[in-house]
Structure formats: C-alpha cells, structure tokens
A = this chain, B = another copy of it.
Amino acid sequence: MSERRPGIADVARAAGVSASTASVVFSGKAPVSQATRGRVLSAAAELGYTGPDPRAASLRRGRSGIVGVLFMEPLRTAFLDPVKTAMMDGLTEGVAALGAGLLLLHDDATGNGDLLTSAPIDAVVVINSSDAIGEALALLRARGVPIVVIEGDAAAGVPRIGLNDREAQRLAAAHLAQLGHRHVVVLALPPRRDRARDWLDADDEIRFDVTRDRLAGARDLFPDAAAFAVEENSIDEGVRAGRALLSSRERPTAVIAQSDLLAAGVIRAAEDAGLRVPEDVSVTGFDGVRVDGLDGYELTTLVQPAFEKGRAAGAAVARMLAGEEAASITFTCTFREGTTTAPVRIPSVG
C-alpha cells in the first residue's frame, strides 16, 4: 500500500532504457531518438511520473533556480510603494530569463533570519539596503551567495543598481528656480529607520542613500531649503506632512517631494487647506509612477525606470551566476513637466 512516488529510475526501467537516457529525455541536454523518447514518455505517463524532482535536480546541478529578495521592512509597507512593486515585476522578468523565481525574505523580527541560511537560494537581491543589513550580508557572502543591491549602501564589491538621484532632483529644483520660486521646502523620505516625522536638522544622520542624494540635489539650487522628513513613504504621510508645511507662517511657494506618493499627499493637503495647485503652491514628485487616487493632476516629476531597475538586477544576478563580473549600473531619471508646477505668483506682501 505504500505509494512511493516513482523516480526516474522506475521510468527508465519500465521503458527499457538507462536512467541517464531517461533523464536526457526530460532535460533535452542530449539528442534522443524519437523512438526511445516516445517509450520513455509513455512509461512516465503510465507510472504517473511528473518530471524530475526539483530537489534532487538542484542538488546535482548546484542550482535551485531561486533568487531571494531581501527587504528591510515588512511586506505590507514595502508593497505600498508602487516603485517597489514595479521593481519586483521587473525583477521577476529578469530572473525569469534565468528560469528562476523569487523568494521573499525580510530582515526583521520573526526568526526568519534563518531562511537566509536554510533556504536554497542561488543569489540574493537586496532592496533599499541600509546599514542594518550588515550581518545578513556577511552571512550571505560567507555562504558564497552572489549579491546585488538595488538602491542602497552596498558593501565593497557588491554590484549596485542605482539612480542618478542627485542630478535628477537637481533638474526639478532648477525647473522651480526658473519659474521664479525662491521659498522652497523639501519633503523628504525617512533618513533612517524608526525616525519620527519631523524637520531635518543639519546634524541629522541620513542613512538612506536615496534620501540623502535627492536632498543634496535639491540643495544644489536651494542651499537653504528646509527639509521635513516623513516616517514612511505613503500618501497619508504626505498629507500629514503637507499640513505642517503649508500651515507654517512662511508658507513655501513650492514643495519638492522626494516621492510621488508624498507629492500626492501634499496636493491633497493643499486642497484641504483651500490652496490651489499649482496656482498657490507648486509641487514636484519623484518616481513617475501611477499614483492611485491622484486622478486629475499630471504630476511634475522625475520618471525613474523602476521596472528596468528590477530587470537589470535580474540580469546582474544572471551574470554573476555565470561566473562573470557584474558591474554596478546607474540609471537615469527623466524630468517630466506636468500640471502641478507654475510660475510663482507675485507675493502680495512686499
């Protein structure tokens, strides 16, 4: 009664061929005559053999066909960000070219830490890494697992897929400057983990590259621009921050938001406060993603190739698995003028 699943050996025996031949029928790695292929296939059908066991194959091959994606945050918040999901789509496509799939990993809480050691992964892509990831990275390197980082501080020798954040943000700032804006405020992404929503001081430590670089780009044109940092990248956070920014006595004429979600939030906050965008206040975003719930505005923003970034990461993984050296890549954002920026109005008070 013990219904042990048939193995390739059983199929081979039933078909009257060697196991090696049967194997080749399934993998296609060597020529097989039509006749034997037929016999093997029908023997397999007869026995209910559904193809080689991936576990055994991956042991022999030394490859599991699985690439880990390591997040620094719970999935809930990671996937709230359309940029990340677009990246994931790109990554999916990138590793699909390898015949691989994506295993979700996150670097926090529930002893999932050991998935890093116990999961059969061929490589890992780290999303938005911060320094907190140190140990995890070390572990993986010791295991000899190839690593690629998207947007983050990579350890030396780790290929990094990045963005020209600073130059890009500078473009938006220049656009505002050209429209006559002088009083500009930056709405920044979190500078580091678990940092409360508040203004950024000069001595505030900024651990996330993205936040730092975009801020630098804005200050290239507005060196004295104040910056307010949110707690997470979401529309609601943008709304809350927007209320703070727009209600201050010296209301800025323009807000440089470091993401489209934040920009959308600012716009909502402005509407709620009875301000018109862009007549009363100009707003720029960053990312160029479709923001659900911003229907009606065309955001002035920097379009980043999120999908491409993911795909490039996949390609880098492929290269590393092939034993080649994978270089870091810096993608370029393009400036897109929308309807949320306009020339500054002549101040009513001299």
A55-93: which have CB < 8 Å to B?
Answer: 55-59, 62, 64-66, 74-76, 79-80, 82, 85-86, 88-89, 92-93
Contact of A80 among B92, B99, B106, B292 (CB under 8 A): B292
Q: Are A99 and B85 in contact (CB under 8 A)?
A: no
A152 in the interface, Cβ–Cβ < 8 Å? no
Contact of A264 among B99, B143, B293 (CB under 8 A): B293
A33 in the interface, Cβ–Cβ < 8 Å? no
**How many residues on chain A are close to B (CB under 8 Å)?**
65
A296 in the interface, Cβ–Cβ < 8 Å? yes
A260-279: which have CB < 8 Å to B?
Answer: 261, 264-265, 268, 272
- Residues in B with CB closer than 8 Å to A296 are 272
Residue among A5, A80, A99, A115 with most chain B CB within 10 A? A115
- Residues in B with CB closer than 8 Å to A343 are none
Contact with B along A112-139 (1 / 0, CB 8 A): 1011011111000000000000000001
- Residues in B with CB closer than 8 Å to A25 are none
Q: Are B101 and A115 in contact (CB under 8 A)?
A: yes
A234 in the interface, Cβ–Cβ < 8 Å? yes
- Residues in B with CB closer than 8 Å to A114 are 99
Q: Are B79 and A88 in contact (CB under 8 A)?
A: yes
A303 in the interface, Cβ–Cβ < 8 Å? no
Residue among A111, A143, A261 with most chain B CB within 10 A? A143
Identical copies of this chain, number: 2
Q: Are A55 and B64 in contact (CB under 8 A)?
A: yes
CA distance A114 to B293 in the complex (A): 37
Known: A293-B268, A295-B239. A104 touches B101 (CB 8 A): yes
- Residues in B with CB closer than 8 Å to A48 are 142
CA distance A25 to B23 in the complex (A): 35
Known: A119-B65, A292-B234, A295-B236. A85 touches B79 (CB 8 A): yes
Contact with B along A276-311 (1 / 0, CB 8 A): 000000000000001011011000000000000000
A102 in the interface, Cβ–Cβ < 8 Å? yes
Determine the residue in chain B with the shortest Cβ distance to A145.
B50
A245 in the interface, Cβ–Cβ < 8 Å? no
User: Closest CB-CB distance, A138 to chain B, in whole Å?
Assistant: 10
Determine the residue in chain B with the shortest Cβ distance to A105.
B101
Contact of A75 among B65, B80, B89 (CB under 8 A): B89
Nearest first, the 9 A-B pairs at minimum CB distance are A235-B293, A79-B79, A54-B120, A293-B293, A235-B292, A55-B59, A102-B104, A59-B59, A101-B115
